[in-house]
Amino acid sequence: MASRLLHRHIREQLKDLKEVTHESLVVGAIENAFQLMDEQMARERRGHQVEGGCCALVVVYLLGKVYVANAGDSRAIIVRNGEIIPMSREFTPETERQRLQLLGFLKPELLGGEFTHLEFPRRVQPKELGQRMLYRDQNMTGWAYKKIELEDLRFPLVCGEGKKARVMATIGVTRGLGDHNLRVCSSTLPIKPFLSCFPEVRVYDLTQYEHCPDDVLVLGTDGLWDVTSDCEVAATVDRVLSAYEPNDPSRYTALAQALVLGARGTPRDRGWRLPNNKLGSGDDISVFVIPLGGPGSYS
């Protein structure tokens, strides 16, 4: 639904702008479009019995600038003359811990008496009541000691590390569209209040640099980035594009395919494996490659 309709919401919001006097107006239009998409999903799920949610990563080109909007754990980078320019960041329970904890602190009813907004290095045990343990709250980036109280025995709002980090022990992404029906496992407690549909929008001015045909914007879902670093993607960009003539439009499709296949790995005795023998990506792997310069591009 998002892939079919989100760009229409963005187009409608941009049409409402009489003139673009500042890039913040475009950013606001994109942000508003994401909210309208989420609201449409909420309305229509009732009639269609559709559940679930998705991440969304969008690129808008307007008046010489590229706007990259990300809600979720997908990622976008620009590879320009070998240099890597991050155009997004992932939104996970770890990266948004303080936002989630602040909401739990301000609205404790959302925790239902089942969770604590505080974070501890590990799960607190009943035998540790009255003892001192490291903790951190919504205001802290570091750790401090506190005396363990009865409320601290509740399950933490944010738990786990890396790909295993979860909000309310359920979901590992904190921004996206949908998930209006998502509940804590074996509970009626809704998780949607902690999930934001608003993207972070980053802007790249194409006019500030003379781009060549090998300069590209790479968009990928977490299935790519789970097993492939930014540097490895940049190396693949150089390797694949150098094998094609600069005016061959198929070079960008070949690059996207190489990135997908590289993240998936090759079948071996013990599953799909990467060249380093680690497991290939088991998640969705979707990749877009957008050229920023050279023949047939818009810059």
Model pLDDT, residue 294: 65
Q: How many domains does the chain have?
A: 1
Determine, yes or no, domain membership for 205. Answer: no
- Beta strands, E only, 113-252: 115-116, 132-135, 144-147, 155-156, 158-159, 166-167, 177-178, 200-205, 216-220
The helix or strand, by DSSP H or E, that contains position 288, with its residue range, turns out to be strand 287-291
Determine, yes or no, domain membership for 287. Answer: yes
Q: What's the CA gap between 51 and 41, in Å, rounded? A: 9
Name the average pLDDT for the chain: 94
For residue 296, pLDDT over 70 is answered with: no
Whether the pTM exceeds 0.75: the reply is yes
Model pLDDT, residue 297: 45
Determine, yes or no, domain membership for 218. Answer: yes
Question: For 174-185, how does the pLDDT look when each residue is reduced to its tens digit (9 = 90+)?
Answer: 999 999 999 998
Tell me what percent of the residues of the chain surpass a pLDDT of 90: 84
Determine, yes or no, domain membership for 292. Answer: yes
For residue 219, pLDDT over 90 is answered with: yes
Determine, yes or no, domain membership for 20. Answer: no
pLDDT bin (cut points 50, 70, 90) of residue 18 is: confident
Average pLDDT over residues 117-137: 96
Average pLDDT over residues 28-50: 91
Q: Is 49 helix (H, G, I), strand (E, B) or coil?
A: coil
pLDDT bin (cut points 50, 70, 90) of residue 295 is: low
For residue 134, pLDDT over 90 is answered with: yes
Determine, yes or no, domain membership for 279. Answer: yes
Average pLDDT over residues 84-90: 97
Q: What's the CA gap between 113 and 68, in Å, rounded? A: 39
Weakest-pLDDT range from 125-134, 144-153, 267-276: 267-276
Model pLDDT, residue 79: 98
- Indicate the burial class of 238 (C-beta count within 10 angstroms; 0-12, 13-18, 19 or more): middle
For residue 64, pLDDT over 90 is answered with: yes
Q: What's the CA gap between 163 and 53, in Å, rounded? A: 18
Average pLDDT over residues 202-211: 95
Determine, yes or no, domain membership for 240. Answer: yes
Average pLDDT over residues 213-240: 96
Domain of residue 246, residue span: 210-298
Weakest-pLDDT range from 12-21, 25-34, 211-220: 12-21
Determine, yes or no, domain membership for 223. Answer: yes
